[in-house]
Structure 1
Amino acid sequence: MAEITVIGSINIDIVALTERYPSHSETLFGNSVKMLCGGKGANQAVACARLGKSVEIIGAIGLDPYGEVIEENFINNQVGTHFLKRVEQESTGCAIITVDASAENTMLVVKGANDSLTEQDIHHAFSQIESSKVLLVQMEIPEETVIRAMIEAKNKGMFILLDPAPAEGVTKQALRYADLITPNLQETKQLTGIEVTSIETAIEAAIYFDQSLGVKNSVIKMAEKGALIYECGTSKFIEAVKVKAVDTVGAGDSYAGALACALADEVDLEQAARFAAIVAAMKVSKLGAQTGLPTIAEVNEYCKENNLNYYGLRTC
């Protein structure tokens, strides 16, 4: 059975590259367009698989050509599809993404089949899951489905990693079942009301998560600045790995996937976060939420070339 179970959204991404975003009602000519596999759940599952872990995806796709492309992509990336639901009455989820010259992105998502994943589907899957160490879940599927997955995982003694994204889908109810959350700046503000602009305000937000929302462990992602690690009352800042960003789509998913892999190896949170920072840096330097994800061999080579260390590789 897989070391990591990922539950979440599965989409096809239509990605347009442009110098700048069009204003409201404005027409611009872009540079190029690509069709890529995406969705937060799918991205995180592929990230884990490329980093050498056995992983199962629990999610839903439509019975359409996009669904076929996605399923083939899972198989090619060695992601288990035993619990992949195929929905006849809904199309596969779709994200229309615009990436500008600064590598920032805007995104319009049509959930489609993702909203068809039910509590019954979760119960059926977990009745067959025995030895998975980590559950990785996000908020792009129905809230009741997310919570049911977290309860089932808790009953099996799994470590529950919640990526509380997107900000619009985050609810405080789901937080109480998580062992660790990984909000970005927008999600942190949505949940705490605190605008993180410094290490000090990140610590303030982490304390709020702990004392007001009952989340003892958090990693607050501060984009290109780095991340604030908070664990049972103590905090540490981890700097980002500096790279030239090409595409930030899927950066958070690569980070969450890398964290899940490290936690499955039972390393401490600081070491896990340092590994995740390397993986996320490599991801943003390439185009595509999944095509830009590095393999573990590529991570090792990158670390050797740039004199970087993580828990599984020492270059000094």
Structure 2
Amino acid sequence: MNQTLVIGSAVVDVIVRVEHLPKCGEDVHVSRQSRSLGGCAYLVSDILRHFGAPYSLCTAVGGGMYGDFVYEQLKKRGVPIYVRKPEEENGCCYCLVEDEGDGERSFIVDHGIEYTFHESYLENIDTDSIDSVYICGLEIEEYTGWEIIHYLEKHPEYTVYFAPGPRIMRIPTDRMEKLLSLGVILHLNEGESMAFTGKDTVEEAAKEIFRRTGSPVVITLGEKGALAYDGKEIFFAPPVKTSVVDTIGAGDSHAGAVISARRFGLSWQEAITAANYVSAAVVAKEGGQLEDMDFAKVLESLPRDLREKIGK
């Protein structure tokens, strides 16, 4: 089976829970904090791993206290480390979650070497087996963002999944237009889709995005589920009932599940249905990472026909 190349960051998520987000000049106390391995690309790749979908994680692991943590955690989980640059700092992500809120998170991100990409990073990866790629908006926004785009231009045969993220409107227009012209499959949330297209409904937003890319689009709807549009039909998958602890990694896990499901031949309807089960499990626990035991429970909860199609 061919593999998915996952390009992007692996960072330390420092999860800080507070009563409420502070206003300027205010003093608030931390109720609890923890740290875990995170980063959009890593979290996507970990869902691929759980599904047994072949992948390579192309992330540069730096040095410093955050880089050492990332390095040890990747080794512990058996993830190949193709690029190590201990002489350059690895960054981190401070994830602020309100105790009194709905689990929504706010990020303060310290970017390091992990958000960069050079084609030389691929020298130890089996590039002949790649048929799909995942990219994130944070890396496209970085100073090496054009290097990712130029790499994709060399490989029009790739299926490219693109999650622009909450900073979608800050990605330089010329970079965004070039990616859209490459026919990327956008994975984004309701607010991002409407802000980007200027449309009043997600259905209209999905159709406008398809008009600009010519490729399917997936839009997550939070507690309302998710939809996909393939240019002919809008597919809707209802939400999976869960108790929300925090929403860290919800979108990343959903994207990883969609890529995995499509890898195993599931339809768009089936893919977003399975992905809803995965993201529901992620938001029910602290942090964006599912352990093997957590994922086993997700598989058990999937409808039987979906389990059979992914061979689980």
Q: Which residue of 2 aligns with 1:198?
A: none
* Alpha carbons of structure 1 residues 242 and 310: separation in structure 2 relative to 1, 3 Å: farther
CA contact (8 A) 2:2 2:54 kept: yes
Q: Which residue of 1 aligns with 2:217?
A: 218
Q: Which residue of 2 aligns with 1:268?
A: 267
User: Structure 2 CA distance, aligned partners of 1:148 and 1:269?
Assistant: 28
CA contact (8 A) 2:182 2:213 kept: no
- Pairwise CA distance, 1:244: 0.9
Q: Which residue of 2 aligns with 1:31?
A: 31
* Aligned-partner SS, 2:129: coil
TM-score when normalising by structure 2: 0.86
- Pairwise CA distance, 1:179: 4.1
Q: Which residue of 2 aligns with 1:311?
A: 306
CA contact (8 A) 2:184 2:213 kept: no
Q: Which residue of 1 aligns with 2:94?
A: 96
Q: Which residue of 2 aligns with 1:86?
A: 85
TM-score when normalising by structure 1: 0.85
Aligned-partner residue type, residue 181 of structure 2:
R
Q: Which residue of 2 aligns with 1:146?
A: 148
* Alpha carbons of structure 1 residues 245 and 310: separation in structure 2 relative to 1, 3 Å: farther
Q: Which residue of 2 aligns with 1:193?
A: 198
Aligned-partner residue type, residue 134 of structure 2:
L
1:136 aligns with 2:138: no
CA contact (8 A) 1:221 1:228 kept: yes
User: Structure 2 CA distance, aligned partners of 1:125 and 1:144?
Assistant: 21
- Pairwise CA distance, 1:153: 4.4
User: Structure 1 CA distance, aligned partners of 2:308 and 2:298?
Assistant: 9
Structure 2's unaligned 5+ residue stretches are none
- Pairwise CA distance, 1:215: 3.7
Aligned-partner residue type, residue 214 of structure 1:
T
CA contact (8 A) 1:255 1:279 kept: yes
Residues 273-284 of structure 1 mapped to structure 2, 5 A cutoff: 273-284=272-283
Aligned-partner residue type, residue 283 of structure 1:
V
CA contact (8 A) 2:246 2:284 kept: yes
* Aligned-partner SS, 1:312: helix
1:17 aligns with 2:20: no
User: Structure 2 CA distance, aligned partners of 1:4 and 1:78?
Assistant: 17
CA contact (8 A) 1:216 1:233 kept: no
* Alpha carbons of structure 1 residues 246 and 309: separation in structure 2 relative to 1, 3 Å: farther
CA contact (8 A) 2:257 2:274 kept: yes
User: Structure 2 CA distance, aligned partners of 1:30 and 1:258?
Assistant: 33
CA contact (8 A) 2:218 2:228 kept: yes
User: Structure 2 CA distance, aligned partners of 1:158 and 1:214?
Assistant: 14
* Alpha carbons of structure 1 residues 263 and 81: separation in structure 2 relative to 1, 3 Å: farther
* Alpha carbons of structure 1 residues 36 and 158: separation in structure 2 relative to 1, 3 Å: same
User: Structure 2 CA distance, aligned partners of 1:24 and 1:313?
Assistant: 53
CA contact (8 A) 2:19 2:29 kept: no
Q: Which residue of 2 aligns with 1:6?
A: 6
* Alpha carbons of structure 1 residues 235 and 190: separation in structure 2 relative to 1, 3 Å: same
Q: Which residue of 2 aligns with 1:172?
A: 177
- Pairwise CA distance, 1:291: 4.7
CA contact (8 A) 2:97 2:104 kept: yes
* Alpha carbons of structure 1 residues 149 and 272: separation in structure 2 relative to 1, 3 Å: farther
Identity %: 25
* Alpha carbons of structure 1 residues 152 and 63: separation in structure 2 relative to 1, 3 Å: farther
* Aligned-partner SS, 2:218: strand
- Pairwise CA distance, 1:262: 1.0
User: Structure 2 CA distance, aligned partners of 1:14 and 1:79?
Assistant: 21
Aligned-residue CA RMSD (Å): 2.4
4+ runs of 1 displaced by more than 4 Å?
A: 291-296
- Pairwise CA distance, 1:118: 2.4
Structure 1's unaligned 5+ residue stretches are 196-200
* Aligned-partner SS, 1:53: coil
CA deviations over 1:162-187 (Å, ceiling 9, x no partner): 11224245423222224421111232
* Alpha carbons of structure 1 residues 107 and 292: separation in structure 2 relative to 1, 3 Å: farther
